[in-house]
C-alpha cells in the first residue's frame, strides 16, 4: 500500500488486523481525489426530488449544470425538479452583488412555473460576495405568497454530510405549516427514500397493503404540501440514515414523533422494515398482513434467485457507496446470493456504521471511509474482487480492471429496493459478473 496519503491511514482498516476505531466524518484531505462532493451537493441531492418546488441555484453556472437531472428520482406528477435553474453569476455580480439578479430570477421563474414552494441554494461565492439571500427569499415569499426557502449550502462549509443537515433544516421550515390537516390512524412518513427508479412507489404499496398510510415522503416523489403535513404522522421511518436522521431527531423533539431506522435493500432488511412498523402500531391485524405479504413475496422471489445464486456462489464483492447504512444492507444482500464482501466503504459513514460492518464481515475485509480511486483500485486488486458496487465515479475503475459493476447510486434505472429490487439486483450482478467479456481482460 505504498503511495497512499499518510493522513488517511486511520481511515482504512482490515478486519482481524486493525483494532483501532476507523477515522471518519472528517473533511477530505487536500489533494485526495475524494469521491465525495461538497456541502451544496449534500443539500441538493436531498431536496432535489421535491417535484413541485422550484430549485434555484444562486451562483455561477457550474453547480447547476452538473446537477441537472442528476438523480433518477421519479415524480408521479409535476416535473419542475428536473429543470436546472441558476442565476448564472458573472463577474459583474461578483463585484457589485447578485441580489437583484436573484430577485428577478425568482420572480420570473415563479410566475412561469407556478411552483408550490422554492428552494434557493447558496453556492461557494455567495457568502463571500455578501449577498443577503435570506432577505431576498423573505421578500419574494411576501410578494408571491409561496415559501421561498434559503438553503445556505456554500460548498466549502463542511462536508457533504453538513449539506444533508442544511437540507433537513430547509424541510423543517415547511413541516408543521399545514395546521388544518388531521392524519388518519396508522400514518407514517418515509424519510430518506428518493424514489429512484420508482422505489418509493413499491414501498408505499407494501405499506398500503398492511393498512399503513403515508403522509409525506421525504423526499422521493415529494410535494411541498405533503411535507407541510408531515408533523401529523405517528411515526417516521428513516432510510439512508446519513441524510435524514437529523430531521427525524428534530421531529421527535419538536412534535414527539418517534422514528425507526430501516433499510429496504435485501430480503431481511426489507421484511424487518415492514414488521417493525407493524410492531410499532401494535396491531396484530397489520402484523398478519405484513407476514402474509412477506411470505408471498419471498416464496415468489427465492426460487427465482436460486439460479443466480448458483452462478454467483463464492464470488467476491467490493462495495463503495455514499452512506454506510446502505453498505450494511448490501453485505447482507450479497450473502443471500452466496457472495462475500471483501472491501466495504462509504463517503459519509459514522463510527457506529463502521463498527457494525466490522462485526458483519469476515477477517481480511478492508473497511474504508472517504476513499479515492488509488486506494479503491489497490484494494480491489489485493482482495481479488469479482464485482464492484458503487456509483458512476467508481464504474470506470471497475471496468478498467476487468471486473463486474453494479450501479447502486442515484443514477440507477432499475429499482433495487424491496423484493422486486432484490431480484433486479441479482440479475444485474449476474449480468455483470458472469459476462463473457471479462475473458479478454485477464
Partner 1 sequence: MFENAPIIKSTKEFTATRNACKLCAPLGASVAFKGIRGCVPIIHGSQGCATYIRRYLISHFKEPVDIASSNFTEEATVFGGGANCDRAITNVIGQYNPEVVALTTTCLSETIGDDVKMYIHDYKKNSELKDLPAFVTASTPSYQGSHMDGFHEAVGAAIKAFAKGGEKGTHINIFPGFVSTEDLRQLKYLLSDFGIEFVMLPDYSETLDNPIWNTYKRIPEGGTPVSAIETCGRAAASIEFGTILNSGALSGRVKNTKLSATGAEYLEKEFEVKNYRMPLPIGVKNTDRFFNVLEEISGKEMPIRYLTERGRLIDSYADGHKYIFGKKAVVYGEEDFVVAMTTFLDEIGVEVVLAATGGESGNLEDQIRANCPERGEQILAKNMFDYEKIREWCQENKPDLLVGNSKAYYIARELDIPIVRCGFPIHDRIGGQRIKHLGYAGTQDLFDQVVNTMIQYKQDHSPVGYKYM
In the region spanning residues 251 to 290, those forming contacts with partner 1, defined by CB under 8 A, are none
- When asked if residue 56 is in the footprint of partner 1 (CB under 8 A), the reply is yes
What single-letter DSSP state applies at residue 50? B
Interface stretch with partner 1, choices 35-43, 170-178, 235-243, 426-434 (CB under 8 A) = 35-43
Which of 3-11, 222-230, 281-289, 419-427 is the region at the interface with partner 1 (rule: CB under 8 A)?
3-11
Q: How far is the CB of 31 from partner 1 (least distance, A)?
A: 3
With residue 120 as reference, give the H or E element that holds it.
strand 117-122
Of residues 168-227, those binding partner 1 (CB under 8 A): none
Element (H, E) at 428: helix 418-433
CB-based burial, 70-89: b 16+ in 10 Å, e otherwise: bbbbbbeebebbbebbbbbb
Q: Does 136 bind partner 1 (CB under 8 A)?
A: no
DSSP E strands in 209-356: the ranges are 213-219, 235-238, 259-261, 316-321, 340-346
Q: At closest approach, how far in Å is the CB of 349 from partner 1?
A: 17
Determine how β-strand 213-219 pairs with β-strand 187-193.
parallel
- Give dist(CA 240, CA 245) in Å, integer: 8
Residue environment code for 369-395, b if the CB has 16+ CB neighbours within 10 A, otherwise e: bbbbbebbbbbbeebebbbbbbbebbb
Q: CA-to-CA distance for 219 and 164, rounded, in angstroms?
A: 12
Q: How far is the CB of 243 from partner 1 (least distance, A)?
A: 16
Query: Rounded to the nearest whole angstrom, what is the least distance from the CB of residue 26 to partner 1 in the complex?
Result: 11
Q: Does 5 bind partner 1 (CB under 8 A)?
A: yes
Nearer Cβ to partner 1, position 93 or 428? 93
Using the rule CB under 8 A, give the single segment among 53-61, 212-220, 280-288, 310-318 that binds partner 1: 53-61
The phi, psi pair for 386, rounded to 5°, reads: -105, -15
Q: Residues 323 to 382: which contact partner 1 by CB under 8 A?
A: 373-374, 377-378, 381
Binding mask 62-91 for partner 1 (x = CB under 8 A): xxxxxxxx-----xxxxxx--xxxxxxxxx
| Part of the chain binding partner 1 (CB under 8 A), chosen from 125-133, 204-212, 277-285, 359-367 | 125-133
Nearest distance from residue 415's CB to partner 1, in Å?
16
Amino acid at each position: 500500500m505504498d503511495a497512499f496519503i499518510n493522513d488517511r491511514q486511520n481511515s482504512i482498516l482490515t478486519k482481524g488486523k486493525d483494532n483501532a476505531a476507523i477515522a471518519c466524518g472528517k473533511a477530505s484531505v487536500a489533494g485526495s481525489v475524494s469521491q465525495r462532493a461538497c456541502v451544496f451537493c449534500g443539500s441538493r441531492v436531498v431536496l432535489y426530488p421535491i417535484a413541485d418546488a422550484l430549485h434555484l441555484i444562486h451562483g455561477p453556472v457550474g453547480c447547476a449544470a452538473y446537477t441537472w437531472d442528476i438523480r433518477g428520482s421519479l415524480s408521479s406528477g409535476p416535473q419542475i425538479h428536473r429543470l436546472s435553474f441558476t442565476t448564472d453569476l458573472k463577474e459583474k455580480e461578483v463585484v457589485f452583488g447578485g441580489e437583484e439578479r436573484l430577485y428577478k430570477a425568482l420572480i420570473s421563474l415563479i410566475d412561469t412555473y407556478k411552483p408550490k414552494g422554492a428552494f434557493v441554494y447558496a453556492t461557494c461565492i455567495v457568502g463571500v460576495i455578501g449577498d443577503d439571500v435570506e432577505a431576498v427569499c423573505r421578500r419574494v415569499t411576501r410578494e408571491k405568497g409561496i415559501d421561498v426557502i434559503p438553503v445556505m449550502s456554500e460548498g466549502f462549509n463542511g462536508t457533504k454530510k453538513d449539506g444533508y443537515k442544511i437540507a433537513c433544516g430547509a424541510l423543517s421550515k415547511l413541516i408543521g405549516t399545514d395546521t388544518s390537516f388531521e392524519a388518519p390512524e396508522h400514518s407514517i412518513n418515509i424519510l430518506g427514500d428518493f424514489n429512484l427508479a420508482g422505489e418509493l412507489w413499491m414501498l408505499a404499496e407494501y405499506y398500503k397493503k398492511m393498512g399503513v398510510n403515508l403522509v409525506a415522503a421525504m423526499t422521493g416523489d415529494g410535494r411541498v404540501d405533503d411535507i407541510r403535513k408531515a408533523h401529523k404522522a405517528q411515526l417516521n421511518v428513516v432510510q439512508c440514515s446519513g441524510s435524514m436522521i437529523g430531521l427525524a431527531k428534530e421531529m421527535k423533539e419538536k412534535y414527539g414523533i418517534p422514528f425507526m431506522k430501516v433499510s429496504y435493500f435485501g430480503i431481511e432488511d426489507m421484511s424487518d422494515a415492514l414488521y417493525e412498523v407493524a410492531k410499532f402500531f401494535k396491531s396484530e391485524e397489520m402484523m398478519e398482513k405484513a407476514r402474509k405479504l412477506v411470505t408471498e413475496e419471498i416464496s415468489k422471489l427465492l426460487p427465482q434467485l436460486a439460479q443466480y445464486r448458483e452462478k454467483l456462489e463464492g464470488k467476491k464483492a467490493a462495495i463503495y457507496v455514499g452512506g454506510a447504512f446502505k453498505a450494511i444492507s448490501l453485505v447482507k444482500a450479497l450473502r443471500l446470493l452466496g457472495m462475500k464482501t471483501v472491501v466495504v466503504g462509504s463517503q459519509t459513514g459514522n463510527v457506529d456504521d463502521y463498527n457494525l460492518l466490522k462485526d458483519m464481515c469476515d477477517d481480511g475485509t478492508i473497511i474504508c471511509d472517504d476513499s479515492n480511486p488509488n486506494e479503491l483500485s489497490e484494494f480491489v486488486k489485493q482482495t481479488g474482487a469479482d464485482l464492484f458496487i458503487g456509483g458512476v465515479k467508481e464504474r470506470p475503475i471497475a471496468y478498467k480492471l476487468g471486473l463486474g459493476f453494479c450501479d447502486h447510486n442515484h443514477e440507477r434505472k432499475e429499482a433495487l429496493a424491496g423484493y422486486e429490487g432484490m431480484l433486479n439486483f441479482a440479475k444485474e450482478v449476474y449480468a455483470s459478473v458472469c459476462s463473457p467479456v471479462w475473458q479478454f481482460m485477464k
